[in-house]
Amino acid sequence: MLRLGINIDHVATLREARYRGRGHGEPDPVEAARLCEAAGCHGITAHLREDRRHIQDRDVKRLREVVTTRLNLEMANVPEIIAIALSLKPDIVCLVPERREEVTTEGGLNVAGHLEAITETRRRMNDAGIETSLFIAPDLTQVEAAVQTGTQFVELHTGQFAEHFLDPSARDEELERLAAAARAAHQAGLRVNAGHGLNYQNLPFLRRVPHLVELNIGHSIISRAVLTGLTEAVKEMLLLMEEYQGG
């Protein structure tokens, strides 16, 4: 069965737009995680960025306390975040590239170019009982490098597939790249996840990619929830307003 991990970063993005630096606010990403688990998802993903643009330290601490499925901490391979992960002990960490100027993670990790450093972090995480995943482009060179690190998972970056989705020729080319990378990773003994830019329209095409274990999806689900959940939110507010006696 293909598992669903839900990235709750954009719940925190909305909160931080109004409550940044206040230590509280709404919507609460931890409550969002509870609702996602109650709805049947198989894991919760949160990216603790160096600039703390959305998820905050307090969020990941609370998530570790309440998540009952599987907590996946996305993180850059930097000392501060490594130390937090080793203390927090999520079920798995996913090492990702990180640039301050990007809106969201724009590319895969250059494992081949940082083999020693990534291998050392993988070792430290595994020694602490934390599994590791590497967020990589569907590139055979990066798959081979990931194998050399000893990681348990790779997460294939589906961003180019999503970007080219409306162009059938380019879309098929990206799907073949994903399929080839998935086959190579699986044959080498790695478990294969995928994510980035997946939505309700393009996801069915991933049936052409073999050996996938889990999809990590955030923005599309949170965006849809704004609309599909809005009617109930308005009704609840109107119900509260019925008791107003200010005339």
Q: Which of 37, 74, 155, 174 is catalytic?
A: 74
Q: Specify the amino acid at residue 154.
A: V
Confidence of residue 231 (pLDDT cuts 50, 70, 90): confident
pLDDT digits (tens, 9 = 90+) for 7-45: 999 999 999 999 998 999 999 999 999 999 999 999 999
Out of 10, 54, 157, 196, the active site residue is 196
Of 2-6, 111-115, 132-136, 232-236, which range is least confident? 232-236
Neighbours of 39 (CB within 10 A): 10
Domain boundaries, the chain: 71-241
Q: What's residue 236's pLDDT? A: 80
Q: What is the pTM of this model?
A: 0.92
| Confidence (pLDDT) at 51 | 94
Is 196 an annotated catalytic residue?
yes
The catalytic position among 47, 155, 174, 214 is 47
Degrees, nearest 5: CA angle 177-179-184: 95
Average pLDDT, the chain: 94
CATH superfamily entry for domain 71-241: Aldolase class I (3.20.20.70)
> Is 105 a residue whose pLDDT tops 60?
no
pLDDT in the model for residue 240: 76
Q: Is 214 a catalytic residue?
A: no
Q: Beta strands of 110-190 (E only): which ranges?
A: 131-136, 153-157
**Residue 106, CA distances (Å) to 137, 168, 218 in order:** 10, 22, 15
Residue 124 neighbours by CB under 8 Å, 6+ apart: 82, 86
pLDDT tens digits for range 172-230: 999 999 999 999 999 999 999 999 999 999 999 999 999 999 999 999 999 999 999 87
Contacts of 78 (CB under 8 A, 6+ apart): 50
Nearest to 219 by CA among 54, 50, 90, 71: 54
CB 27 within 8 A of CB 15: yes
Q: At what angle do helices 79-88 and 115-127 cross, to 10 degrees?
A: 20
- Reply yes or no on whether 74 is catalytic: yes
Burial of 112 (0-12, 13-18, 19+ CB in 10 A): middle
Q: Does residue 103 carry a pLDDT above 70?
A: no
